[in-house]
Amino acid sequence: MTSEHGEVVDAELVDDGHLPAPLPETAPTRPLVDRHTVLAPGELPALADEGPQYTEADFYVSQDTADRAKRAKAANTRRNRDYTVERFEKWCQEQGRVAKPCTTATYTEYGAHLIRQGLKATSISAYMSHIRTWQPVGQRPDATLFRDQLATYRREKPRANRKKQSDPIRLPDLMTMLATCDHSPAGLRDAALLSCGYGTLARRIELADLLIEDLTITDTRILVDFVIDKTHQDGDLPPTPIPDRPDIRPVQRMRDWLKMLATLGATSGPVFRALTAAGTLQSRSLASERGDHLNGDAINAIVKRRAAAAGLRNAAKMTAHGLRAGPTTDLRKAGVTGKRLNKAGRWADDSRMPEIVYVRYGEDEEGDPLAEIPVYEETAEEPPQH
pLDDT of residue 125: 92
Is 321 found in the same domain as 228? yes
Is 353 found in the same domain as 304? yes
Is 267 found in the same domain as 209? yes
pLDDT of residue 27: 61
Dihedral angle computed from the Cα positions of residues 65, 69, 71 and 76, in that order, rounded to the nearest 10 degrees: -170
Residues 79, 295: Cα–Cα separation, whole Å: 12
Task: Output the domain CATH number for residue 87.
Answer: 1.10.150.130
Is 228 found in the same domain as 150? no
pLDDT of residue 307: 97
Contact in structure between 314 and 346 (CB atoms under 8 Å): no
Is 86 found in the same domain as 198? no
pLDDT of residue 13: 46
pTM: 0.63
Residue 7 lies in a domain: no
Residues 311, 179: Cα–Cα separation, whole Å: 11
Sequence-distant contacts of 282-291: CB under 8 A, at least 24 apart: 289/75, 290/75, 290/208
Residue 343, amino acid: K
- The parent domain of residue 134 ranges over 73-156
Residue 272 lies in a domain: yes
Task: Output the domain CATH number for residue 222.
Answer: 1.10.443.10
pLDDT of residue 28: 62
Residue 79 lies in a domain: yes
Is 345 found in the same domain as 204? yes
Residue 184 lies in a domain: yes
Is 150 found in the same domain as 95? yes
Residues 134, 80: Cα–Cα separation, whole Å: 12
Domain count, the chain: 2
Tens place of pLDDT per residue across the chain (386 aa): 444 454 444 444 445 555 555 655 666 667 777 778 888 898 888 777 666 777 888 888 898 887 777 666 555 555 556 788 999 999 999 999 999 999 999 999 999 999 999 888 888 998 999 999 999 988 999 999 999 999 999 998 887 666 667 899 999 999 999 999 999 999 999 999 999 999 999 999 999 999 999 999 999 999 999 876 666 555 567 899 999 999 999 999 999 999 999 999 999 999 999 999 999 998 876 666 677 889 889 999 999 999 999 999 889 889 999 999 999 999 999 999 999 999 998 888 888 888 888 888 776 676 667 777 888 887 655 666 66
> Could you read off the pLDDT of 67-114 as tens digits, one per residue?
777 666 555 555 556 788 999 999 999 999 999 999 999 999 999 999
Residues 354, 122: Cα–Cα separation, whole Å: 19
Contact in structure between 207 and 196 (CB atoms under 8 Å): yes
Is 326 found in the same domain as 353? yes
What residue spans of the chain are helical by DSSP H? 63-70, 75-95, 104-116, 121-134, 144-156, 171-178, 185-200, 204-209, 250-263, 296-309, 322-333, 338-344, 353, 363-366
Among residues 148, 73, 166, which one has the least CA distance to residue 111? 148
Is 260 found in the same domain as 192? yes
Residue 1 lies in a domain: no
Q: Measure Cα distances from 35 to 32, 38, 39, 47 in Å.
A: 11, 9, 11, 16
pLDDT of residue 358: 85
Residues 142, 9: Cα–Cα separation, whole Å: 55
Paired residues of 2 in beta bridges = 8
Residue 370 lies in a domain: no
Among residues 360, 285, 363, 284, which one has the least CA distance to residue 321? 360
Dihedral of alpha carbons 182, 183, 189, 194, sign: positive
Is 101 found in the same domain as 213? no
Is 261 found in the same domain as 122? no
Angle at 106 between CA 100 and CA 108, to 5 degrees: 125
Residue 162 lies in a domain: no
pLDDT of residue 2: 47
